Structure 1
Amino acid sequence: MYPNRLSRAFTVTALGLLLAACAPSDPYAETSETLSNEVLLPAYTNWAEANRRMAASSIAYCAGNEELDDARQAYLQAQLAWAGLQPLLVGPLGEGNQAWQVQFWPDKKNLVGRQVTALLKRKPDLTKADIENGSVVLQGLTAYEYVLYDKAVDLTDNDTKMLYCPLLQAIGEHQQKLAADILLEWQAKDGMAEQLSKFPNERYAESQEAIADLLRVQVTALDGLKKKLGAPLGRQTKGFPQPFQAEAWRSDATLESIDAALAGAQRLWLGQDDNGLKKLVPADQADLAKRIDAAYGTARKHLEDIMLPFSELIADEAGRARLDALYKDIDALHRLHQTELARALGVQIGFNAHDGD
C-alpha cells in the first residue's frame, strides 16, 4: 500500500505543478512587482541615504570639520535624489501633503527667506522641536538651500554661521527622519512594496489598480515639470520671466533637477530591461512605445545640450527660446502619457494635483 500512496502523492504534486505552469500569468502584477523591487524601492532607499548624508554633513560643517562646498554638495545630492523621486510618489509620501515637508515650491513671495529671518530673530537658540512644530516652509530643502546659498546669509562670517547652524542641523535631522520613516513604511510587512507585489491587498483590489496608480503619479510629475519650467519662463505671467519661481534657483540646480525627474519617469517607463510600463503596451501598439522612447530621448538629449546655469539661460532671449523648446518636449511627453499610454493601458487619469494651476 505504501508505494501506491507515494505514487498518488507524486501524481497530485505533478498535476498541481502542471496546472500552475499552465495558469495564465498576470502581466500587470508582474510589472508592478518588478517596478516596486527594481525601481521604486531603490529610489526611496537612495533618497533616504542622501538625506542621511546631508544630515551628517550639516553636523560636520557646523563643527568646522567640513567646508562649505562639501555641505553644498551634500545638499545637491539630496535635492537631486528628491527630484528623481517625484515621478514615483505613489503611497505614503504622496499622501497627507507630506511632500511639502521636503520642498516648498513655488515660493512666489519669498516666504522661505522671510520666515527663516523671523524665526531666528524670535528664537536665536532654536531647537529641533521648533522646526518639527513649525511651518513646512522651514522644514525642507528650500530653507536648507536658502541658508547655504542665499546672498543675504554670509556664512564666511563666523557669527552668522553660528546663528544659522542650528537651523541647518534641525532641517537636516528632520529630513533624515522623514525619509527613514517613509522607507520603513515601504519595507514593512504589508507595506507599500508588498502592496505593489501581492494582490489583492488593503490598498489595491487588483493589479490593474496599482499600475493605474503608478501611471497617474507619473502623469502628475510630468505636468509638474511643465509648471516648474513654465512658471519661471513666464507662461502664467503673460511672457514676463519669473526667474525666482524656478526650482532650486539659489543653487542653480534647476536643470539638473528637471533632468533627474525625467530620469525617474523614464525608469518607471523602461524598468530595468524594458520590463516597466512599456512592457504592458499591447503588441499592436508598438509604434506608441517607440514614440514614447523617442520622446524621452529627445527631452534628455535637449537637456544635455543646454546644461548651462539656468540663471544665464533665462536672462537671455536666445536662452529662453531653448528653454521653451525643452518645455515643448516635456509637454509632448506629458500628453503621450496622459492620453495615448493611459488609453493603451486602460487607465482613467482624472484630475491631478496640478490641475487648475
Structure 2
Amino acid sequence: MRPSLALALALLSLAAVAAPAAAQEGNALSPRIVDEAAVPGVMAKAVDAFIIPGYRGLAEATTVLAEATAAFCEAPSAANLEAARSAFSGTVESWSAIEIIRLGPALEQNRFERFLFYPDRKGTGLKQVQAILARREESATSAGRLKAKSVAVQGLGALEYVLYGTGAETLSGKDGDFRCRYGRAISENLKAIAGELLSEWEKPDGIQAAWKKPGPGNPLFRDSKEAATELLGVLVHGVEMVKDQRLRPFYAGAIDGRRDKGHPRLAIYWRSVDTMPSISANFRALQKLFNAAGMESLLPAGSGSIAGSINFLFKVLIGAAERIDGPIDAALADEGQRKTLDFIALNTADLTDRLNRDFGGAIGLGAGFSFSDGD
C-alpha cells in the first residue's frame, strides 16, 4: 500500500474512533448554568419578592372590587357606579402585574381562563355574556353557580361588558338590577380565584418549596438548569404575550409595506380604556421580576451590560406605553401614537431576543435557546 493511501486510511480510522468520543465529551460538557449555586436564591426571591406579593395585591384588589360592586347593587348611583368601575380598573392593573405567572396554580382548575378569557377571536365569550343578560339567567347571579359555567362568562372580560358594554346605562336604574347582580357574582368569583392563587403559593410545602429547592426528587425542577429555564421562560413568554396577544390583535404595524389600519375593538379592555395601562403594567411586572429575583447575579463576571440593556429596554417600553393615553381608537387615528405603537412592537421583539439569546446564552442555557418550543 502506498504511504499516502495508508496515511489517509489511518486518518479516516482515527476520525471514526474519535467521533463517538467527541460526541460523548459534548454531552458531558452540555451547557450548564454559570453559577448553579445562585439559582435557588434567585428562585426564592422570585417567589418571595414578586409572585406572592403580586397575588397578595390581586387578592386585595378583588376584595375592593367585590365590596364596591356589592355597594353599587345595594344603592345604585352615579358615584357608586364610578367606584365600581374604578375598582375594576384597579383589578385589571393588579392582574396585569401578575398574569405573567401562567403556570402551576394558575393553570389548575382553569383559574387563568376563568379570571381572564382572552383573546376571544370569534366573539364566542361575548355572545355567551350577552345571552345571560338577555335571558336574565338567575344561575349567573351566584358566584358558586357561576363557577360551573363557561370560563368566558365569569372573568374580567365579562365584568367589563357588564360595566361598560351595550346596556350598561341601565345599571343605575331598576332595569339594571339583574345586570348588577350578575356583575356582583363575577366580582365575588374573581375574589375567590385570587384567594385560591394566593393560598396555593403561600403553602410552605407547596409550589413555592419546589421553586426554592431544585434538585433530585423535586417534582418540578430536577436541577438548577431546569429551574433557571422556567424562570427565564416566564420572562420570554411574558414579553411574547404582550407582543402577540396584546398588541398584534389590534395593530400589526406595517404589513408588506402598508400600515395596518388597526382594529380597536380587538384590543383587550378597550371598553374601559384600560388597554395601555394594562400593557404598561405587564412591562413593569416583567422588569420587577427580573430585578426582584436578582437574575443579574446569574450572569458571569463582565456580563453586566446584558442586564443593563434589558433594563434599558424595559424602561423605554414602559415609558412608551404610558405615553399612549385614552381610547385605542383615538390612538390608532393619531399618526404620532401609531409611531409609538410601532416603536413598542420593534423594541418588544428586541427585548425577546436579548432575554432569549443574550441572557440565556450567557448563563449557560445556550444561545438561541427556544422557550417557545421547549427545547
TMscore range, shorter length = 0.7 to 0.9
Which residue of 1 is the match for residue 285 of structure 2?
264
For residue 293 of structure 1, the aligned residue among 311, 320, 328 is 311
3-state SS of 2:121 partner: coil
Change in Cα spacing, 1:96 to 1:59, as seen in structure 2 (3 Å) is: closer
3-state SS of 2:169 partner: coil
Which residue of 2 is the match for residue 253 of structure 1?
274
Which residue of 2 is the match for residue 44 of structure 1?
55
Is 2:329 aligned against 1:311? yes
3-state SS of 1:133 partner: coil
- After TM superposition, list the pairs within 5 Å mapping 1:50-61 onto structure 2: 50-61=61-72
Q: CA deviation at 1:296?
A: 1.2
In 1, distance between residues paired with 2:337 and 2:263? 14
The answer as to whether partners of 1:153 and 1:160 remain within 8 angstroms in 2 is: no
The answer as to whether partners of 2:68 and 2:80 remain within 8 angstroms in 1 is: no
Equivalent residue pairs, number: 327
Is 2:174 aligned against 1:174? no
Q: TM-score, normalised by structure 1?
A: 0.84
The answer as to whether partners of 1:90 and 1:214 remain within 8 angstroms in 2 is: no
3-state SS of 2:118 partner: coil
In 1, distance between residues paired with 2:334 and 2:188? 39
Is 2:121 aligned against 1:108? yes
The answer as to whether partners of 2:250 and 2:266 remain within 8 angstroms in 1 is: yes
Of 175-184 and 310-319, the range deviating more from structure 2: 310-319
In 2, distance between residues paired with 1:252 and 1:132? 27
In 1, distance between residues paired with 2:301 and 2:359? 13
Change in Cα spacing, 1:48 to 1:333, as seen in structure 2 (3 Å) is: same
In 2, distance between residues paired with 1:123 and 1:306? 38
Q: CA deviation at 1:195?
A: 1.9
The answer as to whether partners of 1:88 and 1:264 remain within 8 angstroms in 2 is: no
- After TM superposition, list the pairs within 5 Å mapping 1:1-357 onto structure 2: 26-64=37-75, 67-94=80-107, 97-126=110-139, 127-128=141-142, 129-200=144-215, 201-227=218-244, 228-234=246-252, 239-271=260-292, 276-347=294-365, 348-351=369-372
In 1, distance between residues paired with 2:203 and 2:171? 44
The answer as to whether partners of 2:136 and 2:178 remain within 8 angstroms in 1 is: no
Q: CA deviation at 1:156?
A: 4.8
CA deviation digits over 1:189-228, x for unaligned, max 9?
Answer: 3212222223433222223322211111221111010021
Q: CA deviation at 1:237?
A: 8.2
3-state SS of 2:98 partner: helix
Of 289-298 and 125-134, the range deviating more from structure 2: 125-134
3-state SS of 1:231 partner: coil
- Give the letter for the 1:267 counterpart: K
The answer as to whether partners of 2:270 and 2:327 remain within 8 angstroms in 1 is: no
Runs (5+) with no aligned partner, structure 2: 1-34
CA deviation digits over 1:261-318, x for unaligned, max 9?
Answer: 00110011111xxx52122122232221221121112212222333343331112333
The answer as to whether partners of 2:236 and 2:371 remain within 8 angstroms in 1 is: no
Q: Which has the larger radius of gyration?
A: 2
The answer as to whether partners of 1:41 and 1:193 remain within 8 angstroms in 2 is: no
CA deviation digits over 1:85-104, x for unaligned, max 9?
Answer: 12233422145643111112
CA deviation digits over 1:118-150, x for unaligned, max 9?
Answer: 123334423424421111110100110111111
Q: CA deviation at 1:25?
A: 8.2
Change in Cα spacing, 1:323 to 1:154, as seen in structure 2 (3 Å) is: same
CA RMSD across the alignment: 2.4
- Give the letter for the 1:104 counterpart: F
3-state SS of 1:104 partner: coil
Change in Cα spacing, 1:99 to 1:352, as seen in structure 2 (3 Å) is: farther
In 2, distance between residues paired with 1:229 and 1:290? 25
The answer as to whether partners of 1:72 and 1:148 remain within 8 angstroms in 2 is: yes
In 2, distance between residues paired with 1:245 and 1:150? 14
In 1, distance between residues paired with 2:108 and 2:360? 22
- Give the letter for the 1:61 counterpart: F
- Give the letter for the 2:267 counterpart: A
